[in-house]
Amino acid sequence: MHRMDMRSREQYLKALLGRYLRARKRGKSALLDEYCRNTDMARKSVLRKISGLLKGNDFVEKILA
Predicted model pTM = 0.77
Question: Could you tell me if residue 53 is inside a domain?
Answer: yes
Total structural domains in the chain? 1
Owning domain of residue 38 = 24-65
- What is the mean pLDDT of the segment spanning 33-58? 87
Question: Could you tell me if residue 6 is inside a domain?
Answer: no
Question: Could you tell me if residue 17 is inside a domain?
Answer: no
Indicate if the pLDDT at residue 64 is higher than 80.
no
Question: Could you tell me if residue 9 is inside a domain?
Answer: no
Question: Could you tell me if residue 15 is inside a domain?
Answer: no
Question: Could you tell me if residue 65 is inside a domain?
Answer: yes
Question: Could you tell me if residue 33 is inside a domain?
Answer: yes
Radius of gyration of the chain (CA): 12
Single-letter residue type at 42: A
Indicate if the pLDDT at residue 25 is higher than 90.
yes
Question: Could you tell me if residue 57 is inside a domain?
Answer: yes
